[in-house]
Structure 1
């Protein structure tokens, strides 16, 4: 029993996933061996993405979930080979942590598959936890039942917003005292050093002390809406042009997901927006930046507009106001938790289905409300960070019991 397994990881090509991996791995230090194994679809890419994180963190191809869309990034294995690796990993495991942010929702249709590592660990008597996630709302009762079966046997459960907690208690029937209302583990992610960030900003023409805004668009968000890619692009062009002209400061386009699959690669959309915006103030952030580097860029902005939730979290966890275009309750739920009950949802959230309506994006581009959001966030941020950290304190206590 000499390593902690982290499951629920797809690929650190998504800087949101990278932020989760970095944060969870850095705080999952419960055993003398101090060794962590991350199960992922893209082990070599992920190891390179977090190089220098910790020599005791290793990345291996997930033998419990095999994604065909990332087949080129993992070894070809027979079912017998996969089974042997599953047995070996669990035989050596002291704890299995389920992360993944929004895996256990109906958005991607993968919830039950990503429960397998936890379920097989439970069958062997290995402690399991589910940390800092959004849950539901499931249309498929089999998916809901699978989540309940695993969650009921976990040593600790936490969710990152109130809507998921209410769903877990009132719909799934989990005991109120069993599930913690916490925050996303990525609230614990450190930002890159200031001098490193200054070099990135300088490459975008932003000097020390210069104000700027950020837009973090999602290449894949139209898959969760009735919008066409062209409608989505036109709405974002209208938004960035308004921001650049009305606010008079640079608008930096942040490609938060560098996916090897074109349908989800934000660099493609960012390049199109930059090329078509027709305004010198609209600039793409270049290079393959890490999650801490993106957090530093986002955290230095006056305001961030995000279609990637973890881009918004990168801003929020730095004390920078963020507003979102979302495709599920996780967006409004996480931001409502960050801003508190005195800020209405329409001040920080627009559903993706409404984005293409004429002028629908204008409330997101309103700088006068930035000070109000910043004040609300400043009052709540210490609580959000403490809640994320307390998950790991609670986990230690649960394991000791």
Structure 2
């Protein structure tokens, strides 16, 4: 492929978003990659601009311009409600001309209400004749209706990252749907300097997020369970704990709850706080853990893809689907946060996972080569699938 577009992108402060972009570029190997981002400063901070050309998702609207005058006429004379939005987002269609494909970075972007600005960008690209692919997506079955279903059916291809979403899309009439592992399974891990207190080969990685706390069924249940888990690790084992953030966005910053846990157990001398870093370095820390307990999807993928037994505190289809495809079931691998109530549920699930350490590593040894081989065929298969569509 000579040129691919990636959109939408909320910024690399969510290192899962960063991981999707980096691994996609690695897998597809285009001559040029262009990323439309709503947080270009974040992307430059983590060096993503050295991998793709980063452009702002929206361009400023200048009142003294022909474009503004045309948009004003369309809005106020013809009644086109999104005329000014189409002007602001219009750069994606202009950049798309000559592109081999536009990848709408699915992830879970379709899981939080109507993504009207994504619909708009999709429409601009379709009108410009650019092949559009919903890339590595997870969606809830009950959301696949009305405007969302219409938009989904209009993609040239939908690539689901887990079978629950893939099956639901096909049931809803999205016949151009295929299944591939999340591209971040192919993201390289990069080793960085270890913080003081790191116990090589004997660390339990811990990740928790404000987002998963927001889905708890009982107020305080998540942090109570994480605290009980850490008490168990520190009192009943000789392992240390690494607190690992994976999203550092204002208002959705993993460091906030992790710092609370760090303050509670700092006195033990056996808990370390991993600082913010690019996704490859965070994967490097996770890869050097013995176990991981995670709330963020791409923290769990970093563990899965490096053979680290992981327990996920999940709230949606993405956690269940990814675990089911890898292990054959989500039971014992995903703890639904909405059902988390008793304070020792997370600790109990972790102890059970510890007892299956060898079994889980055997599963990884069998499944991960299949995942890597499947992802390695993506460039040729994607080109073929787009021709068929």
Match of 1:244 in 2: 234
1:205-354 equivalences under 5 Å are: 205-207=197-199, 209-228=200-219, 230-259=220-249, 261-262=250-251, 264-277=252-265, 279-286=268-275, 288-339=276-327, 341=328, 344-354=329-339
- Structure-1 residue corresponding to 2:163: 162
Which of 350, 356, 367 is the aligned partner of 1:365? Answer: 350
What's the TM-score once normalised by structure 1's chain length?
0.83
Structure 2 SS opposite 1:23: helix
Find the partner of 2:107 among 93, 101, 111. Answer: 101
Counterparts of 1:86-165 in structure 2, within 5 Å, are: 86-91=92-97, 93-105=99-111, 108-139=112-143, 141-151=145-155, 154=156, 156-165=157-166
CA RMSD of aligned residues (A): 2.4
Distance of aligned partners of 1:62 and 1:184 in 2 relative to their CA distance in 1, 3 Å threshold? same
Moved more, 127-136 or 302-311: 127-136
Helix, strand or coil: the match of 2:214? helix
Paired positions, count: 361
3-state SS of 1:392 partner: helix
- Secondary structure, in 3 states, of the residue corresponding to 2:185? helix
Q: How does 1:166-185 map to 2 (within 5 A)?
A: 166-170=167-171, 172-175=172-175, 178-185=176-183
Is 1:163–1:329's contact at 8 Å kept on the other side of the alignment? yes
CA shift in 2, pair 1:329/1:115, >3 Å:
same
In 1, Cα distance between the equivalents of 2:372 and 2:119? 27
Q: Is the 8 A contact 2:162 2:181 kept in 1?
A: yes
Structure 1 unaligned regions, length at least 5: 65-77
Q: Write the distance in 2 (CA, Å) between the matches of 1:115 and 1:52.
A: 26
Q: Alpha carbons of 1:19 and 1:84: their partners in 2 closer, same or farther (altered >3 Å)?
A: closer
TM-fit CA distance, 1:274 = 0.4
Decide which of 184, 187, 190 is 1:189's aligned counterpart. Answer: 187
3-state secondary structure, aligned to 2:268: coil
Q: Report which of the two structures shows the higher radius of gyration computed on alpha carbons.
A: 2
CA distance in 1, matches of 2:348, 2:359: 14
| Structure 2: segments with no counterpart, 5+ residues | 60-83
Task: Give the counterpart of 2:196 among 178, 185, 204.
Answer: 204
Instruction: Say if 1:135 and 1:348 are closer, same or farther in 2 by CA, change over 3 A.
Output: same
Task: Tell me, yes or no, if structure 1 residue 23 matches structure 2 residue 15.
Answer: no
CA separation in 2, counterparts of 1:140 and 1:100?
14
The separation in 2 between residues aligned to 1:60 and 1:164, in whole angstroms, is 30
Shift of 1:160: 1.2
Aligned equivalents of 2:89 and 2:178: distance in 1?
Answer: 33
Q: Structure 1 residues 139 and 85, CA, compared in 2 at 3 Å: closer, same or farther?
A: closer
